[in-house]
Structure 1
Amino acid sequence: MKRIFLIAAIFCSAIMVLQSCSPKGAATTQTIRRGNVTGNWVLNDITFEGVPQSSVKSLFGESSYKCFIGSAWRLTNSGNGSYTLGSECAGKMQTIYWSASPKEDTFQFKKIYEGDKAKNVTEGYRMLLSSANGDNMVIKTPVEYGSGTAYIVLNFTKAQK
Structure 2
Amino acid sequence: MKKFLMLLGATVFFIISCSAPKEARQKRNLISGTWSLDNISYEGTEGLFKSVLFNDAQAICFEGSDWFFRDNNSTGRYTLTAGSLCSGGDRFIRWSVVNNQLQFKFIDEKRKDISGGLGYRLNIADLTAQNMVLKSTVSDNGSPVTVVYNFSKK
Provide structure 2 residue ranges, at least 5 long, that are not aligned to the other structure: 1-22
Moved >3 Å (runs of 4+): 118-121
| 8 A contact 2:107–2:115 mirrored in 1 | no
TM-score by length of 2: 0.72
The whole-number CA distance in structure 2 between the counterparts of 1:120 and 1:128 is 20
- Aligned residue pairs total 128
Question: Do structure 1's residue 79 and structure 2's residue 111 form an aligned pair?
Answer: no
| 8 A contact 2:76–2:92 mirrored in 1 | yes
Task: For residue 55 of structure 1, give the secondary structure of its aligned residue in structure 2.
Answer: coil
| 8 A contact 1:51–1:145 mirrored in 2 | no
One of 94, 116, 124 as aligned partner of 1:129: 124
Q: Please identify which structure carries the higher strand content.
A: 2
CA RMSD of aligned residues (A): 2.5
| 8 A contact 1:47–1:154 mirrored in 2 | yes
Question: Do structure 1's residue 91 and structure 2's residue 88 form an aligned pair?
Answer: yes
The residue that corresponds to 1:61 in the other structure is 55
CA pair 50-115 structure 1, distance change in 2 beyond 3 A:
same
Provide structure 1 residue ranges, at least 5 long, that are not aligned to the other structure: 1-29
Structure with bigger gyration radius = 1
Give runs of aligned pairs for residues 24-63 of structure 1, distance below 5 A: 33-52=27-46, 54-63=48-57
